[in-house]
Amino acid sequence: MSDKDTERLFIETPPVRLFFKAALPGAAGMLFSSLYYLLEGIIVGRVVGADAFAAFNLAVPFVIINFAVSDMIGVGSSVPIAIKLGKGEAEEADNIFSCSVLMIIIAGLLAGMALFAAAPAIFRLMGADDHLIPYAVSYLRVYAVFSPLTTLVYAVDNYQRICGRIRRSLLMNIILACSATALELLFVAVFGGGIGFAALGTCIGMTTAVLFGMYPFMRGRMALRFRRPRFSLPLLKTIVSCGLPTFLSNISGRVVSIIMNVILLSLGGATAVSVYGILMSADGVALPLLYGTFDSLQPSVGYNWGARRFDRVAAIERCCYATGAVVSLSLGALLFFFPGQVISLIVEGGLSSSVVAMGVPALRIFASVYLVRWIAVSTQCFMSAIGKPVFAGALSVSNAFAFPLIFLLILYPMGLTGIWLNMPLTSLAVMAISLFILSRYRGIVRREKEDLG
């Protein structure tokens, strides 16, 4: 897609039509790109066993931490790239793109090496027993080996959407989900491999998707093109500041998950960790639908913000908030009314196991998160898209770290019930901050218009 085609898509397409053209495929693409995590958990839980599923949930936060720096660079570069394209500064956009890809590869290499070496010590410090540690180590080390390539997957997806290649982005995510799931089933269910082979199947699928997504960029067929990278301190500061909310959300959220797992091991053992994993697996379907809708429209929001088309920015965001409400409330209802079915889908024999006795009330409490969560997610993505990282970062840290720890201290005497109540109360608190930030939006637009003259 040429620069002119990108401009027509983002500037001239009516907002509602743009929403259906970009957001729906984007949400589907994000869901497919994250579906492998849910399916991986199901395969591990139903084929390898309950202990492997508990180890899987101990290791997953560190897998996400492995992606955190690379994801920060990918998201942090996408915002200035879209704004630069909106201003007609294509060469600057190409340079940001080229520098970012190189930075992601280096970051993935360093993070992977660190996690590979530290894996056994990490799980011992968490309090895992000698039975769970080998499962968790083998799983994490496979991801560490593939890290330099797999960490590109989310950034490549963002760059394709910036270039208006929404269908190719969707196809890349379908390739990821289908190839990863097929290989996991082959390695684990057919060949009888363990949890490490489940990770191997996912990593090969992610690598395949990255190569597919990068191919048109390498051939010079996209609006963004590789150039000799020109690094500068202002460039690095821009990327870090715009990507910092995502980084803080990933890191702080995983730190909280690790703390939760340590407490759950002490309060309820592997069963409590498995229930928490089921909650996170359900959230792994809900959040991609929400973030996929908003992320797919971030390039158009940033492009129009750079072009000073504030009317279009507002119209696009109205579509986002309305869709977020529908998706979030629907998923909350599903979890509240069908908790047993969700548990039995993920863990074999769930309806007759000890997991269900703990999991059904936990899921019903957790379902209340989605009454208000869409407000915070929508606002965080909106602030990121228009280059306001302070607001986005405040929401990110509040949701993923500050309030969960505050409520953890307050509710700890309630035991496991306090753990399950943590997330709904966090969502209510972050909603209040989101509404305050939205009340400041008119002042942001007024200042931008004054700067425009």
d(CA 428, CA 94): 41
Quick one: pLDDT at residue 39?
A: 78
The yes-or-no verdict on residue 177 having pLDDT over 60 is yes
Quick one: pLDDT at residue 448?
A: 64
Interhelix angle 389-397/373-385, rounded to 10 degrees, is 150
Which DSSP letter does residue 193 get?
Answer: -
The yes-or-no verdict on residue 5 having pLDDT over 70 is no
The yes-or-no verdict on residue 268 having pLDDT over 70 is yes
Q: Averaged over 82-89, what is the pLDDT?
A: 82
Contact yes or no for 56/195 (Cβ under 8 A): yes
Q: Distances from the Cα of 77 to the Cαs of 70, 226, 316, in angstroms?
A: 11, 14, 21
Quick one: pLDDT at residue 84?
A: 86
The yes-or-no verdict on residue 99 having pLDDT over 90 is yes
Q: Distances from the Cα of 150 to the Cαs of 93, 209, 269, 374, in angstroms?
A: 23, 9, 32, 28
Q: Which of 340, 326, 426, 284 is nearest to 24 (CA)?
A: 326
Q: Averaged over 298-324, what is the pLDDT?
A: 81
d(CA 418, CA 392): 28
Chain centroid to CA 5: 28
The yes-or-no verdict on residue 318 having pLDDT over 90 is no
d(CA 117, CA 140): 10
| 72-81, 303-312, 337-346, 355-364: the lowest-pLDDT one | 303-312
Chain centroid to CA 309: 28
Q: Averaged over 160-185, what is the pLDDT?
A: 86
The yes-or-no verdict on residue 452 having pLDDT over 60 is no
The yes-or-no verdict on residue 345 having pLDDT over 80 is no
Interhelix angle 166-184/195-218, rounded to 10 degrees, is 150
Contact yes or no for 355/275 (Cβ under 8 A): yes
Which range of 37-41, 80-84, 385-389 scores highest in mean pLDDT? It is 80-84
Element (H, E) at 11: none
Quick one: pLDDT at residue 8?
A: 66
d(CA 95, CA 75): 15
Rg (CA), the chain: 21
Q: Which residues contact 23 (CB under 8 A, 6 or more apart)?
A: 292, 293, 294, 296, 297, 319, 320, 323
Contact yes or no for 187/200 (Cβ under 8 A): yes
Q: Averaged over 138-164, what is the pLDDT?
A: 91
Quick one: pLDDT at residue 309?
A: 82
d(CA 238, CA 221): 26
> What type of residue is 337?
F
Burial class (CB in 10 A: 0-12, 13-18, 19+), 430: buried
> What type of residue is 32?
F
| 6-15, 79-88, 123-132, 221-230: the lowest-pLDDT one | 6-15
Q: Averaged over 379-397, what is the pLDDT?
A: 82
What percentage of the chain carries pLDDT values higher than 90? Answer: 34
The yes-or-no verdict on residue 307 having pLDDT over 80 is no
The yes-or-no verdict on residue 270 having pLDDT over 50 is yes
Q: pLDDT by residue (tens digit) across 46-70?
A: 788 778 888 888 898 899 888 888 8
Q: pLDDT by residue (tens digit) across 403-449?
A: 999 999 999 999 999 999 999 999 999 999 999 988 887 776 666 66
Quick one: pLDDT at residue 350?
A: 47
d(CA 184, CA 275): 23
Element (H, E) at 186: none
What average pLDDT does the structure give for the chain?
Answer: 84
Quick one: pLDDT at residue 365?
A: 95
The yes-or-no verdict on residue 278 having pLDDT over 80 is yes
Q: pLDDT by residue (tens digit) across 186-206?
A: 999 899 888 999 999 999 999
d(CA 278, CA 276): 5
What's the half-sphere exposure (Cβ side, CA atoms, 13 Å) at 323?
Answer: 23
> What type of residue is 72?
M
Q: Which residues contact 371 (CB under 8 A, 6 or more apart)?
A: 328, 329, 332, 427
Chain centroid to CA 435: 23
Quick one: pLDDT at residue 450?
A: 61
Contact yes or no for 83/102 (Cβ under 8 A): no
